[in-house]
Structure 1
Amino acid sequence: MSTEPDAQDAPRFFRTRDLAAEGWTAKRLARAVRDGSFLRLRKGVYGQPGLPEECASAVRIGGRLCGSSELRRRGVFVQDHPGTHVHIEPEASRLPPVPEGIHVQRGMLRRTPHPRSCSVEVLDAVIQSAKGQPWREGLATIESAVQLGVLRIDELGEVFAALPRRYRRARRWLDTRSESGTETIMRLIALELGAGVEVQVWIRGVGRVDLVIDGWLIVECDSERFHSDWRQRREDLRRDQAAARLGYSTYRPIAEDIMWHRDEVRAALAGLLAGGRPARARRAGTMSRG
């Protein structure tokens, strides 16, 4: 057994007997805890420095990080949800008290984690997270997991089979090319309005844009992370100007409004579409789907 973490795996913990099999004596282990080389998570269970706090919290109560908490750790889009989600094996008993802010889930898993894994497998985390979200946000989570490469395309059938009825319509709208959760939600809003939507479109002289709706309206889903300084804002405005020369209009809803003021975003998009194409876009040879 190596105590070096594998970048492809979830973080792992170690039991006293595992370390003893590698030659660790009780005295050496106690010294390692004192100097910070190991973390004592609970009796007979240890972790390495740098172990994410949410993983440590899960292991301390005899569980594994799961659901939205595990997906957030991996960078997958999930709707904001307070607290830490921890899976406890159904047969587990005599557990320590559960601290405030930890949400315990029980139930059988579809994938068996490594015996020393601090987290459930991604497929289970996606199912757990999607069940706890509205279907639009849940679909965005699924697309994000595929886009990031942590969930395989061939696992989608198993995921959707495990989800509630509200996801039946959602599956036909799945498009794993979306590069952010807010982009997925904007695409769904447009589809629900009856519009045609193209995803990740390359326009010559403009570059790649998030969405093109009904062939003339560019929608770019802006977030503070990528659009917070004047240099980026200036580049965005020049892209919009280049698109306008070709006959496109551009709408830039901010991520905060897409997530928390969705009725206003929907109304704005509906108003733009009701007004119709303002000018014929000269798109011959300028546009291709990403």
Structure 2
Amino acid sequence: MSDHPGRVQTPSPLPRALSTSDLREAGLTKRQIATAVRQGRLIRLRLGRYAPDHTPDIFIDAGRWGGRVDCVSLLSYLGVFVHTHDAPHVQVDRHATRLPPRPARVRCHWRSSSAPSASLAVEVVEALAQAVLCQPARHAIATLDSAWHLGVVDVEGIDEVFRRLPRAFRVLRTLLDPRSEAGVETLVRLILRTLGHRAELQVVIRGVGRVDLLVDGWLIVECDSRQFHSEWEAHVRDRRRDSAALAQGYCTVRLLAADVLSRPDAVRLQLQSILDRGPTVPRSGTSGRGPRVEARGSRLRGH
């Protein structure tokens, strides 16, 4: 990762606007610029600002509105988990004037940015800090876990996010765990924490394989989504894993990602009911001394 705190590695350079002077320095004449716009090879954002035709629409829109892609909009574009993304989030310089009209649904974050003036997106650390402010605490933790796990931000970047936030948010730092491979895993882990149970992430169990969460050493919790469970072969593999786990005395509950996201209270009650009953059979070969675990999922650098 970068040696500079808060600097991150993104999948590719984020889009930037091109000024008329940029295009002229590249050798284009005024007539050639106009022709490129007419032919669709250049997109005019605002007076004197352009973008190449391959620029994603979200950045084109932000540029036309006089801002930069920000918060959950940028993070969603980068593949980071966000619970809800139903409107564009755009950073606008607080002293900006004569801005073009924009749809009422656009969420504007009026603040300065450390991003280069030509950038059509804020820096990722800025977006993460803003996303913490814009989301409920649990959703914000899931977003931070996701960004960290994916390598979109490193440990120095995470620390920089919290330096940019009010002190009251620093308690969230202690709840992060980049071993969560999906946002729903983080949300389930936090539910289990409120129920007073210990959940281990990405545990490898002999004869079963790696499981999403292992609770109190006996309950396996798997978070299933359509993305990875749409084919019959995936269901067959999961049933065989569940049978192998049951043979060793583990119980498995499979939660639907859609339920975790939209019906968290029902999921909480379901988990509470299962955990209150406790394990029904002893695990074979354990004599009550704990699970037959080969290894736990490795932590990412810096955690």
For the aligned pair, the TM-score class normalised by the smaller chain equals over 0.9
2:286 paired with 1:287: no
Residues in 1 aligned to 2:47 and 2:228: alpha-carbon distance in whole angstroms:
44
- 2:142 is matched with which residue? 140
Q: CA deviation at 1:168?
A: 4.0
Residues in 1 aligned to 2:251 and 2:166: alpha-carbon distance in whole angstroms:
38
In 2 relative to 1, CA 253–166 (structure 1 residues): closer, same or farther, beyond 3 Å?
Answer: farther
User: Given residue 54 of structure 2, which amino acid in structure 1 is its aligned partner?
Assistant: G
Contact (CA 8 Å) 1:135, 1:166: kept in 2 or not?
no
- 2:7 is matched with which residue? none
User: Given residue 107 of structure 1, which amino acid in structure 2 is its aligned partner?
Assistant: R
Structure 1 counterpart SS, 2:202? strand
Q: CA deviation at 1:285?
A: 4.9
Q: 5 Å matches for 1:114-263?
A: 114-163=116-165, 167-263=169-265
Q: CA deviation at 1:153?
A: 0.6
- 2:42 is matched with which residue? 38
Q: CA deviation at 1:241?
A: 0.9
Contact (CA 8 Å) 1:68, 1:81: kept in 2 or not?
yes
2:58 pairs with 54, 64, 84, which one?
54
Residues in 2 aligned to 1:95 and 1:168: alpha-carbon distance in whole angstroms:
35
In 2 relative to 1, CA 7–203 (structure 1 residues): closer, same or farther, beyond 3 Å?
Answer: closer
Q: RCO greater where, 1 or 2, for CA within 8 Å and sep 6 or more?
A: 2
1:74 pairs with 71, 78, 89, which one?
78
Query: What is the RMSD of the two structures over their aligned residues, measured on CA atoms?
Result: 1.7
In 2 relative to 1, CA 7–24 (structure 1 residues): closer, same or farther, beyond 3 Å?
Answer: farther
Structure 1 counterpart SS, 2:50? strand
CA deviation string 1:107-147 (max 9, x = no partner): 233xx212321100000100111111110100000111111
Contact (CA 8 Å) 1:76, 1:144: kept in 2 or not?
yes
- Structure 1 unaligned runs (5+)? 1-5
In 2 relative to 1, CA 7–249 (structure 1 residues): closer, same or farther, beyond 3 Å?
Answer: closer
- 2:25 is matched with which residue? 21
Residues in 2 aligned to 1:185 and 1:239: alpha-carbon distance in whole angstroms:
23
In 2 relative to 1, CA 154–206 (structure 1 residues): closer, same or farther, beyond 3 Å?
Answer: same
Structure 2 counterpart SS, 1:241? helix
Contact (CA 8 Å) 2:92, 2:112: kept in 1 or not?
no
Contact (CA 8 Å) 2:11, 2:78: kept in 1 or not?
no
Residues in 2 aligned to 1:107 and 1:36: alpha-carbon distance in whole angstroms:
32
Contact (CA 8 Å) 1:39, 1:46: kept in 2 or not?
yes
TM-score (norm 1): 0.92
Structure 2 counterpart SS, 1:210? strand
Structure 2 counterpart SS, 1:251? strand
In 2 relative to 1, CA 7–239 (structure 1 residues): closer, same or farther, beyond 3 Å?
Answer: closer
Structure 2 counterpart SS, 1:104? strand
Contact (CA 8 Å) 2:224, 2:257: kept in 1 or not?
yes
1:9 pairs with 7, 10, 13, which one?
13
Contact (CA 8 Å) 1:195, 1:213: kept in 2 or not?
yes
1:90 pairs with 94, 97, 101, which one?
94
Structure 1 counterpart SS, 2:274? helix
In 2 relative to 1, CA 7–72 (structure 1 residues): closer, same or farther, beyond 3 Å?
Answer: closer
Structure 1 counterpart SS, 2:144? helix
* Stretches of 4+ aligned residues off by more than 3 angstroms: 161-169, 282-287
What percent identity do the matched residue pairs reach?
43
Which range moves more in the overlay, 146-155 or 179-188? 146-155
